[in-house]
């Protein structure tokens, strides 16, 4: 089952912050975050393992609450290069490390 | 390293034709997956593999077959193409961390 992402789309001005949420109805072992530019392949940003850790990548960080089966991606001081579609991918226990992806959140950063 | 290589990049098929989408990785990754991407639907899992000789079905496996005879290769076969299979197909591989995606195959079935 696909996880649910929100919001579906967001428009920011350069320098503003954004939060993208991902929730699952199934127990999770890990959550991945990817960014896809138009016409390109998804690119891995970070992985969060069961344990509620928070990780960071440049000015992009994420958290994972395995009790609520939810993850959030935080983009701070957004840059034009952050524009794209963000996908969360969830891994359930005993799933062979296969990911189920949400439908994506389209992010546009304007000057 | 080439990473994950998918061929062809573009393909047009007639309804009922069969074809194989090729995927090869040179990173010795155990985990490989096939996804299709349709507008507004995100990435949907077709089939996946945890190693040579081991495959399993994902969310949308109907109409597709896979095999994994080597660690490097994970081809996706369309048995009898239908217009509903018009999509962009991505192959991805991982060692257990993040997935590396191929550049995709854009398939149109007419």
Give percent above pLDDT 70 in chain B.
Answer: 99
DSSP codes, A31-91: EEEEEE-TTS--EEEEEEETTT-EEEETTEEEEEETTTTEEEEEE-S--GGG-EEEEEEEE
* φ, ψ for residue A97, nearest 5 deg: 65, 15
Choose the closest CB to B99 out of A2, A44, A96.
A44
Question: At residue A29, what are phi and psi to the nearest 5 degrees?
Answer: -100, -35
- What is the spatial distance between Cα B108 and Cα B110, in angstroms, rounded to a whole number? 6
pLDDT (average), residues B18-46: 96
Q: Judge whether residue B35 has pLDDT over 80.
A: yes
Name the minimum distance, in Å, from the CA of A103 to any CA of chain B. 4
pLDDT, average across residues A54-62: 77
pLDDT at A56: 65
Of the pLDDT bands very low, low, confident and very high (cuts 50, 70, 90), residue B57 is: very high
Q: What pLDDT, on a 0 to 100 scale, did the predictor assign at position A54?
A: 63
pLDDT band of A42, cuts 50, 70, 90: very high
pLDDT in tens, B60-104: 999 999 999 999 999 999 999 999 999 999 999 999 889 999 999
pLDDT for B20 equals 98
Interface of B with A in 13-32 (CB under 8 A): 31
User: What is the pLDDT averaged over residues B8-22?
Assistant: 98
Per-residue pLDDT averaged across A27-48, rounded? 95
Distance of CA A87 to the CA centre of its chain: 5
B101·A96 Cβ contact <8 A:
no
Residues of A in contact with B48 (CB under 8 A): 96-98
- Residue A13 has, within 13 A of its CA and on its CB side, a CA count of 0
Residues in B closer than 8 angstroms to A98, CB to CB, are 31, 33, 45, 48, 56, 58
First to last CA, chain A: 37
Mean pLDDT of chain B: 96
């Amino acid at each position: 089952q696909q996880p649910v992402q929100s919001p579906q789309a967001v428009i920011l001005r350069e320098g503003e912050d954004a939060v993208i949420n991902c929730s699952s109805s199934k127990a999770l072992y890990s959550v991945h975050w990817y960014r896809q530019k138009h016409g390109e392949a998804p690119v891995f940003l970070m992985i969060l393992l069961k344990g509620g850790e928070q990780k960071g990548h440049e000015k992009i960080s994420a958290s994972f609450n395995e009790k609520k089966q939810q993850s959030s991606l935080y983009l701070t001081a957004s840059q034009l290069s952050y524009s794209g579609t963000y996908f969360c991918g969830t891994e359930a226990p005993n799933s062979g490390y296969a990911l189920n992806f949400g439908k994506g959140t389209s992010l546009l950063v304007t000057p | 390293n080439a990473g994950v290589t998918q061929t062809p990049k573009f393909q047009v098929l007639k309804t009922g034709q069969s074809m194989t989408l090729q995927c090869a990785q040179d990173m010795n990754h155990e985990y490989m997956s096939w996804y299709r991407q349709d507008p507004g639907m995100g990435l949907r899992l077709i089939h996946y593999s945890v190693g040579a000789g081991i495959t399993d079905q994902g969310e949308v496996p109907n109409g597709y077959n896979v095999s994994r005879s080597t660690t490097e290769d994970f081809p996706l076969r369309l048995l009898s193409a239908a217009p509903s299979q018009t999509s962009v197909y991505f192959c991805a591989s991982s060692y257990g961390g993040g997935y590396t995606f191929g550049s995709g195959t854009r398939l149109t079935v007419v």
